[in-house]
Chain A
Amino acid sequence: MSEVIAAHDEAHHNSTGIDTRKLLMWLFLGSDCLFFGSFIATYLVYRNRSLVGPYPSEILDIPLTTISTFVLLMSSLAMVLALNYTQRDKPVAGRYWTLITACLGAIFLGFQVYEFNHFVNLGLTPKTNMFGTTFFVLTGFHGAHVTFGVLWLLTYAFSCLTTSLKERAILILSIIGFLMIFFAVLMSDWLHVIPHVPFNTVMAIGGAGVLILLISLILLRKTSTPKGIAVSQSMNLELSGLYWHFVDIVWIVIFTIIYLVSAKDVAPIIGM
């Protein structure tokens, strides 16, 4: 038996001492840099090339996006706290802050839904001009990354389910809230994926989704049985944390380039 264990330990020989899954995540993030880099490069190349309006200066709402950016950055803080609590063997607090992170991410997505919808109502679609094309696709793929991150974080809520029926119900409620936000994104008509739904309906569904998420979170805080993300799972959480922070950092770049740098862009001066 001792031989089995010896052979077993050798199999887990780790040449660098870096957790292999963490290594994989870093490699993926390095690759994802090129993914966003290509989209951002495309945005920059096509900047000031729109032949018809609406132009960025007419449509971008910097104060609003500053708020949503703030929300997303705060979600990174929540992520740090979640991981920190989990690593210090405080599973319930770890789970709570994980859900807060997901919730803040969902609120950010809500802002994005609103913004997409708003732009479409103002006449900017991906088809309208070069700004529409590059803006919607770049921020859309960033939104897809946030969506995936939110879902990933929500799986931790499931992975530490207790048998408490009440708690399960609340978690399912939070998933429903999230799905409502998600469908609000789909219905926002920017890709004509789902036939046009009135603006107020989209906002109602999206807003209700955010509300349900918040309520379920507060309920969860009250009913939480002492069971959360075990300290043995902290590496899992750390991986999603790496991903989450990366997606936030990408947003800082996108916010700078689209909202701050291009804020005054108007029609191109040089005739094309």
Chain B
Amino acid sequence: MTTLKYPTFIPRPKEEYSGFLGTIWSWITTVDHKKIGTLYGITAFIWFLVGGIEALLIRLQLYAPEAKVLSPEVYNQVFTMHGTTMIFLVVMPLSAAFFNWIVPLQLGARDVAFPRLNAFSYWTFLFGGILLNLSWIFGEAPNAGWFAYAPNSSFPYNPGYGVTFWIIGLQALGVASLAAGFNFLATIINLRAPGMTFFKLPVFIWMTAVVNVLIVLAFPIITVALLQLMFDRQFGTNFFNAVQGGDPVMWQHLFWLFGHPEVYILILPAMGIVSEVLPTFSKKPLFGYSFIVFSGIGIGFLGWFVWSHHMFTVGLGPAANSAFAISTMLIAVPTGVKIFNWIATLWGGSIRINSSLLFSVGFIAMFVIGGLSGVTHASPPSDAQQQDTYYVVAHFHYVLFGGAILGLFSGIYFWWPKMTGRILNEKLGVAHFLVTLIGFNVTFFPMHWLGMDGMPRRVFTYPEGMGWDLSNLISTIGAFSIALGTLIFIFNVFFSTRGPKNAGNDPWDARTLEWTISSPPPHYNFAEIPEVKYRDDFWFKKYPELAHGEVSGASASEVNNDDDHHVEMPDLSYYPFFLSLSIVLILGSLLDLSWNGSWYIAGVGILMFVWSLLGWSFEPVNEETSNQKDH
């Protein structure tokens, strides 16, 4: 870059800071994938607690007929925010925390391909989440459900700030997800360690790749849908205005064209985690590696052809319904393949039972139940009975809580030693698992009965004598058990941080590259970039005799972590933080254009945007590391 004097205003960040503010500044300016992963994890867990409190409020309101815990208006806001929070602020960013932490480590890389872009993703996610939740302060949280069907979400029927908050918050979160999606795909394609061909990649990396392809292709669609809804609301266009010939079903198509791939965006990371945990604790290679990989790709591919099964009752006609029913049933095939492969991985292995494995096994069992109930509404006639009942609520909680959340907890127990150097307490971990699993089933299993019995979802109360009282009461008790399980987990985290850092490099006798380095890993991850020869490379370097004579005396002494190594790492930068802030300011200014202050906020946002974008471009980050430089 030429010698351009760019007005930076703020001194360039240094490597070392001290004091409280210094520490905060060092986190704001960080571009280290591990620190960003930690930020993602902590933030997502805080939102998990927020979404959980919203869930408890829902269950309190429904514990008995005609309860008066929440007003109908507030109830609508709480269930909308519960769904939106859990999907966009919990499961996706918690998966992103694992992508950040684990992908570069498993690839044998020192960071992601674009470290500053990575920081930008996190800050945009954080500010977007805050923007979304600011709606509570206005007393007008989004209230149109997590899929915000137009015209229920259009201005004439929903004139408050709520849906606008939902739109601009989701736009910000979409920007964050897209940036992360590009980044991780570029990382996986280009930063693999020498010798690590695509079919030597760990399955977690494969599932990350599929998820990010889905993100990159699905999020532009929801961006467009949200833009159209926003133009309808703010500028009076007619996209979903039936009076002028607009079509509300258009919103449903666009939303679910995004929304169904989104479901796989939520579940595939957990599938990747489980595919790492099971082989490790069975001391066996993953059964049918290529079947699992191709099933993952197949799910990602078929996921694009099933969206209208969310719309069976719209009246698209028998031809469309049949086609989408067939494609939906078809998608059970690759999913079933995976289930059998996981079971076959356990089969005959020397299994060590601990909390990570328990969560993975719990994932398989719960996901099977959720998958089976899913197949029951793949059939349009059957779905017509189940549409918008608690049966559907039961189904997607079995796949998203019993699936995604249990899988993610499995990953937390599995990689916690690598991230912190400490192993989480095993007894508390098992208690967490048991309380969560039992509480989960107590909460959600009765919802199958409620749904079959005709209780509609999203009603704020129900009359006495419908036969729904007992099931709802049981469900509420179960919800509080889940809360108890979560408290055990929080206690476990604090309890374990007091222990010594004695996890060692490889506490589980695991298989992939991240276990070759110290726990927690040094700033630069790998002093020397490893050479990879095998799938599960570390395992076969530890146990060359298991490699069927393929190992030609390769030394297992790759573990070389003397701190004298000087490794050039990407420089710190504060521009990602300010670029994110500016984007959220600009989006926030769209909330109410009739208020003059909006224009000042937008002005500040645009100035900050230009300043930070140009500053980002001209920032002299490690001149030679052109590979790691963003445009």
Q: Hey, which bits of chain A sit against chain B, CB under 8 A?
A: 3-4, 7-8, 10-16, 18, 20-21, 23-25, 27-28, 30-35, 37-39, 42, 45-46, 49-52, 126-127, 129-130, 132-134, 136-137, 141, 155, 158-161, 191-192, 230, 233, 235-236, 239-240, 272
Contact = CB atoms under 8 A, between A and B. Distances in A.
Given A21-B629, A24-B182, A27-B216, A51 B244 contact: yes
| In the A-B complex, the 8 residue pairs with the closest CB atoms | A38-B224, A35-B220, A34-B220, A10-B529, A49-B245, A133-B237, A15-B192, A127-B236
21 contacts: A4-B568, A11-B567, A11-B625, A14-B190, A14-B191, A15-B190, A16-B189, A21-B629, A24-B114, A24-B183, A28-B182, A31-B219, A34-B220, A34-B221, A35-B224, A39-B224, A45-B247, A46-B246, A130-B246, A141-B227, A235-B626
B186 A20 contact: yes
Contacts of A13: 191, 193-194, 529
B579 interface: no
Contacts of A239: 631
A28 to B, nearest CB: 6
B528 A10 contact: yes
Contacts of A155: 614, 617
Contact of B190 (A11, A18, A31): A18
Contact of A45 (B191, B193, B217, B250): B250
B66 interface: no
Most buried by B among A15, A127, A239: A15
Given A10-B529, A24-B114, A46 B224 contact: no
B4 interface: yes
A124 B301 CA distance: 41
B557 interface: no
A229 to B, nearest CB: 10
B630 interface: yes
Contacts of A134: 239
B227 A133 contact: no
B246 A137 contact: no
A14 B183 CA distance: 15
A159 B619 CA distance: 12
B529 A11 contact: yes
B547 to A, nearest CB: 23
Interface of B: 1-2, 4, 110, 113-114, 117, 178, 181-183, 185-186, 189-194, 196, 216-221, 223-225, 227-228, 231, 235-239, 244-247, 250, 254, 527-529, 565-568, 614, 617-618, 624-631
Nearest to B117: A24
B314 to A, nearest CB: 15
A23 to B, nearest CB: 5
A24 B186 contact: yes
Contacts of A230: 2
Contact of B245 (A27, A129, A137, A192): A129
Contacts of B630: 21, 24
Nearest to B185: A27
A138 to B, nearest CB: 10
Contacts of A272: 245
Most buried by A among B2, B183, B216: B2
A16 B185 contact: no
Contacts of A160: 2
Contact of A236 (B185, B225, B231, B631): B631
Most buried by B among A8, A25, A33: A8
A272 B242 CA distance: 11
A159 B247 CA distance: 48
Contact of B631 (A10, A18, A25, A49): A25
Contacts of A20: 113-114, 186, 190-191, 627-628
Contact of A133 (B2, B239, B614): B239
B631 A129 contact: no
A33 B221 CA distance: 10
Contacts of B1: 159, 233
Given A16-B190, A35-B223, A130 B528 contact: no
Contact of A130 (B2, B244, B567, B617): B244
Nearest to B254: A38
Nearest to A230: B2
Contacts of B178: 31
Contacts of B186: 20, 23-24, 27
Most buried by B among A31, A51, A192: A31
Contacts of A32: 220
Given A126-B231, A130-B246, A160-B2, A11 B183 contact: no
Contacts of B185: 23, 27
A143 B223 CA distance: 17
A20 B114 CA distance: 9
B189 A23 contact: yes
Given A14-B191, A35-B221, A50-B245, 14 more contacts: A20-B190, A23-B113, A28-B182, A31-B216, A33-B220, A35-B223, A42-B224, A42-B254, A45-B247, A49-B245, A49-B247, A51-B245, A160-B2, A192-B235
Contacts of A28: 182
Contacts of A51: 244-245
A14 B196 CA distance: 12
Contacts of A11: 110, 529, 567-568, 625, 627
Nearest to A27: B182
Contacts of B190: 14-16, 18, 20, 23
A201 B610 CA distance: 28
A126 B237 contact: yes
A191 B219 CA distance: 26
A173 to B, nearest CB: 19
A8 B623 CA distance: 13
A137 B191 contact: no
A126 B624 CA distance: 49
B594 to A, nearest CB: 11
A12 B194 CA distance: 11
Contact of A126 (B110, B235, B254): B235
Contact of A31 (B220, B231, B631): B220
A192 B110 CA distance: 50
A12 B627 contact: yes
A213 to B, nearest CB: 19
Contact of B246 (A31, A39, A133, A240): A133
Contacts of A23: 113, 185-186, 189-190
Contact of A137 (B181, B227, B527, B566): B227
B601 to A, nearest CB: 15
Nearest to A25: B631
Contacts of A27: 181-182, 185-186, 216
Contacts of A30: 216-217
Contacts of A38: 220-221, 224-225, 254
Contacts of A10: 194, 528-529
A233 to B, nearest CB: 8
